[in-house]
Structure 1
């Protein structure tokens, strides 16, 4: 049984699946793992016939605590410490900072077929929906302090209250400290030394904590959200799920203050890009939008789902990783076509099922992604007719649609991600000078290969690959010594794409002629 189906099978009654994000900057692909995990739990519950809602919170009352490196520091530094929803938008297409960055992320939601009910924390606070819980936590501040101490060993002063006011004088929320509550108003001070990234203005006074005048600390706020939204299932990343960490603190507050059972929880691991954990504010890694522009939606969902949630995903968008991703997906499509309905699917096919944008796996005639990358780099090739010609069976309309999306992905990868050594650089006008490095053994191989190629009637990649191998075997030569002779002759380097495919991209007369030229170049310097 797939992990999400297990959760669904053990759930009783109506479920509300929740996830959330603080839009502190460009949202990175790492944040998509939680989105997809919660979306799949929601879908699994629906498939199990259980009543369920999927909600997604935007934590836009959090403070701006750093200016991302891709923004104008002079423009945004004055807003450090402000609630994100009170910071100006970096662009004209949004009312404020939080909606600007969240808007970009929500476009990726649509692209991936994820459709939760979106709510903004500003609305929960300003509408008064959180007032009751603000009052409860302020009146029970001593219990909140105890929970922090018992779970995370964090000491809070006896006059510390779980609330931060938006300073009436300077507009900052990060710098205010509440030290009293009389049942209607809190007493706060905007302290100059409250944080290490911005100074408070020193103002102090009494103010109502209700109707949007401030916010709960996020671990307390998390608990309040659970109650107001009715959350029953919410997973969290490993960083929040450590023993004594944020989720443990929130669970303790939920039990100690509200006497309620926390929502179902299980930790999930990070997504690393090139081995680096993502950070929205630092701009490290690849943004969700950028990866969505690279991968078709089903492939991006599949990237998240083919690995168990508790296993790290390390996605390096290099040639080997991205071609393997497409190849693995195509293998499952072929397996699905053989094995059929969801009820009988194995775990790997269930990851394929939940990778779809809807509840149907549409099969197609796979066309190798690495071949597309190569074909796009061959001058004078009309790519779509070339794919038609190379396909073993006529393409359906859906086959053509899949191929078109993959051509776009392959071109995007070539333009934005491919290193120079990963690109197929063919020398059409002259023999690469590196062919001078051919050994006598390799010259013998090319001489015999020319003879065998001239007698080869079919000029497709698989046939040519067989000829390349059989020629090396005929000469009792290891492929690892023979094949570099082919790459040196056409590309000037010792490695490249599948050699049979490489030759198949070229006219037979040109390919054989080039091998003769490479031999002549070597003999000329010998």
Structure 2
């Protein structure tokens, strides 16, 4: 059974709410999409199971701005450090404030991926008074909250610590305020100068009502209050929050101690790494969700998230090998899905990630005739080529409107990948009009390899990528030259570099007579007497 279907099978109740949330502290990185797509898959699985389910997504915009991302004007935004994100101005006029600006960008990616939860903002829960009941409850039971911190995470809170942070009436900061008393519906707070390392409090003190948006609960306590206000049934959390003694354990303990009830269903999920680096919204590490969504077709981005078990790390490196393999794996499943053969249980299981990757909630898979993405990348780089005519000629069957729809989107992806992501090593720069400089410096065994290769290519060869690749390998074995040395000779002769795309495919894009003549010219240059 697919992992999302297991959650659905275990869930019960007449109102099941699947929830996820995010603090929009900067550009939202692709890592945050994993939680979004995981929760969306659970929501869809519950719908398939015929259970009453709602998917909600919270924007934690009452959290403080704790750093100014490197891509923003430091002087402009530094004065707002420590203030709620909802109170910080927007970087551009397209949004009313900082939180809505960055969340708006993220919500565009939701739409791109066919994810449509009910969105709520923490500012609205606080300012509308919906959180008031729980603010009072946690303040009245501050001793139990302190107990939970101590027992679960060994965090020792002083006896006059209360789980609330007001917005300072003097300086507007929320990160620096410490509440030390609660009486008659008001809290006493101090905006402490040294409460945080990244910003100083102003020193103001006073009594203020904690209700109707005047402040917020610390987020581990706030998490529990949200569960109650929103009615959350299922909420997974990232590995960093799910470790023993971590944030989720503290929240679970507070839920049991203060609310006297069990917390929502939980399971941890692993990070997405980009080039081996964990995502950070505020530090600008890795690739933003919007950037990756602009690169990959939405079904492919969902597939990237869903084909891996939530407890396994995804390391996405938008290089040639990773991106072309992702397309190939997806296309192979499309081929399986369209196959007329009887689908056994294992095949059905393999197809589930494909089905959940579709944008429509009915998970209807629109099949197509796949065209190899790595071949497309190479064709895009060949000058003076009628690309669509070449694709049509290389396709096994006539291409339908649906086939062309997919191919044209992949042409877009290929162009963007070449422009924004491809390393120089991965780019195909063909020397069609002149001999590459490095082709004149081949060693003796490479010259011998090219001599044999020219003879073999002149024979009755099907001028097609895979067959040419096999011939390149067999020629290296025929004269006992290392494959690395042999293929380098080919790449030097056509690309002026040691490595490149699949050599058999490379030659298949070129005219047979031109290839053989270029190899003969390279041999001649290397055999000519050196001056």
TM superposition score normalised by structure 2: 0.96
**Alignment match, 1:506:** 510
Higher mean C-alpha deviation, range 179-188 or range 268-277:
179-188
Deviates more, 1:195-204 or 1:70-79: 195-204
Segment of structure 1 superposing worse, 379-388 or 234-243: 379-388
Report if aligned partners of 1:342, 1:353 keep a CA contact under 8 Å in 2: no
Change (3 A) 1:357 1:508: same
Distance in 1, matches of 2:497 and 2:94, equals: 48
Taking the aligned partners of 2:146 and 2:462, their CA distance within structure 1 comes to 78
Q: Report 1:107-506 matches (<5 A).
A: 107-338=108-339, 346-358=348-360, 359-456=363-460, 458-475=462-479, 477=481, 479-506=483-510
Q: Secondary structure at the match of 2:381?
A: coil
CA distance in 2, matches of 1:445, 1:275: 38
CA contact (8 A) 1:82 1:171 kept: yes
Structure 2 CA distance for aligned equivalents of residues 457 and 39 of structure 1: 50
Residue aligned with 1:53, SS: strand
Query: Which stretch shifts more, 60-69 or 202-211?
Result: 202-211
Query: Are the equivalent residues in 2 in contact too, given 1:16–1:233 (CA < 8 A)?
Result: yes
Conservation of the 8 A alpha-carbon contact between 1:86 and 1:97: yes
Q: Distance in 1 between matches of 2:436 and 2:297?
A: 36
| 1:40 alignment partner in structure 2 | 41
Q: Given the superposition, is the C-alpha separation of residues 253 and 340 from structure 1 closer, same or farther in structure 2, using an over 3 Å criterion?
A: farther
503-512 or 364-373: bigger deviation: 503-512
Range with bigger deviation, 31-40 or 433-442? 433-442
Secondary structure class of the residue paired with 1:272: strand
Matches of 1:476 and 1:247, distance apart in 2: 60
Q: 1 CA distance for matches of 2:269 and 2:140?
A: 34
How far apart in 2 are the matches of 1:201 and 1:38? 41
Q: How far 1:91 moved relative to its partner?
A: 0.6
What SS does structure 2 have at the residue aligned with 1:522? helix
1:517 paired with 2:521, answer yes
Query: Counterparts of 1:60 and 1:330 in 2: how far apart (Å)?
Result: 40
**Relative to 1, partners in 2 of residues 1:341 and 1:20: Cα closer, same or farther, differing over 3 Å?**
farther
Shift of 1:143: 0.8
186-195 vs 219-228, greater mean Cα deviation? 186-195
What is the CA distance between 1:121 and its match in structure 2? Answer: 0.3
- After alignment, is 492-501 or 54-63 more displaced? 492-501
Partner residue, 1:30: 31
Write the distance in 2 (CA, Å) between the matches of 1:73 and 1:476.
61
Which residue of structure 1 aligns with residue 60 of structure 2? 59
Partner Cα distance (1:340, 1:127) in 2: 56
Compute the displacement of 1:346 (Å).
Answer: 3.5
Q: Secondary structure at the match of 2:311?
A: coil
Structure 2 distance, partners of 1:324, 1:12, is: 39
Number of residue equivalences:
526
Give the aligned CA root-mean-square deviation in angstroms. 1.7
Shift in alpha-carbon separation, 1:331–1:135, aligned structure 2, 3 A: same
Tell me, yes or no, if the aligned pair for 1:135 and 1:183 is still in contact at 8 Å: no
- Asked if the contact 1:342/1:350 (under 8 Å) is kept, the reply is no
Relative distance call for 1:191 and 1:470 in structure 2 (3 A) is closer
In 2, Cα distance between the equivalents of 1:331 and 1:345?
12
Partner Cα separation in structure 2 for residue 231 and residue 255 of structure 1: 15
Does structure 1 retain, via aligned residues, the 8 Å contact 2:426–2:501? no
Kindly provide the CA deviation profile for residues 358-400 of structure 1, in whole angstroms up to 9, marking residues without a partner as x.
2112221111111111111111112222111111111111111
SS in 2 for 1:493: coil
Give the CA deviation at 1:446. Answer: 2.3
Q: Indicate conservation of the 8 Å contact 2:223/2:251, yes or no.
A: yes
SS state at 1:205 partner: strand
What is the Cα deviation at residue 485 of structure 1? 2.3
Cα 1:476–1:195 change in 2 (3 A) is closer
Shift of 1:75: 0.2
Unaligned runs of 5+ in 1: none
CA contact (8 A) 2:380 2:415 kept: yes
Name which of structure 1's ranges 247-256 and 514-523 shifts more when overlaid on structure 2.
Answer: 514-523
Match in the other structure for 1:7? 7
Deviations 1:184-240 (A, max 9, x none): 111111111111111111111111111111101000000000001000000000000
For residues 245 and 474 of structure 2, the distance between their equivalents in structure 1, rounded to whole angstroms, comes to 62
